[in-house]
């Protein structure tokens, strides 16, 4: 089924805005209701809410970089460029499958959510932590990170599905 260009654009931008909105609402709640050094148990010691401000990228990468120009290039300018490139790719390429479109929208939405924090607050608010007793353990993360990981998973599914069809 072929959908109209206008509906496709609304769907793309709607998915991106949904990701950004969920991220920003959850961070706002965390900023208002979780105190520094406070640990709120959601599911025993397995899922905990604890707020931290990350001044770098993934797991604090680049947080100790002292050169403000390089830091701005790596944490703001480069991510904006990549997100715009991905957005352009989604808009122009009309033969992407639903997993790829949804996945790329999640990645863009999560990226925008964290960029918004970096620009407005000079850090990214992280507030969730999972530790399943050594089986699976995360750093402290936020909903933008969940969006990016979900999007990456959907891209992997899309690539696997494409590979299956091209082999047949």
Give tens-digit pLDDT for 8-45. Answer: 999 999 999 999 999 999 999 999 999 988 999 999 88
With vertex at residue 75, the alpha carbon angle to CA 73 and CA 79, rounded to the nearest 5 degrees, is 90
What is the full DSSP assignment across 103-145?
Answer: HHHHHHHHHHHHHHHHHHHSSEEEEEEEB-TTSSB--SB-HHH
Q: What local confidence, expressed as pLDDT, does residue 139 receive?
A: 86
Q: Residue 53: beta bridge partners?
A: 125
Domain residue limits at 152: 5-167
* Residues carrying an active site annotation: 126, 145
Task: Give the model confidence (pLDDT) of 98-155 as tens digits.
Answer: 999 999 999 999 999 999 999 999 889 999 999 998 788 888 899 999 999 999 999 9
The C-alpha angle 94, 95, 99, rounded to 5 degrees, equals: 105
- For the chain, give the longest Cα–Cα distance: 56
Total domains in the fold of the chain = 1
Residue 54: pLDDT band (50, 70, 90) is confident
Q: How far apart are CA 23 and CA 109, in angstroms?
A: 9
| pTM for this predicted structure | 0.86
């Amino acid at each position: 089924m072929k959908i109209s260009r206008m509906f496709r654009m609304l769907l793309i931008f709607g998915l991106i805005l949904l990701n950004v909105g969920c991220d920003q609402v959850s961070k706002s709640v965390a900023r208002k209701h979780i105190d520094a050094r406070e640990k709120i148990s959601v599911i025993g010691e397995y899922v905990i809410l604890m707020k931290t401000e990350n001044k770098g990228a993934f797991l604090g990468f680049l947080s100790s970089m002292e050169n403000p120009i390089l830091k701005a290039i790596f944490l703001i300018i480069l991510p904006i460029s990549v997100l715009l490139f991905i957005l352009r790719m989604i808009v122009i390429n009309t033969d992407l499958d639903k997993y790829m479109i949804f996945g790329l929208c999640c990645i863009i939405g999560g990226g925008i959510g964290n960029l918004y924090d970096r620009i407005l607050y000079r850090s990214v608010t992280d507030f969730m932590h999972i530790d399943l007793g050594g089986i699976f353990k995360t750093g402290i993360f936020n909903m933008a990170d969940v969006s990016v990981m979900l999007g990456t998973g959907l891209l992997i599914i899309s690539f696997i599905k494409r590979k299956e069809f091209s082999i047949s």
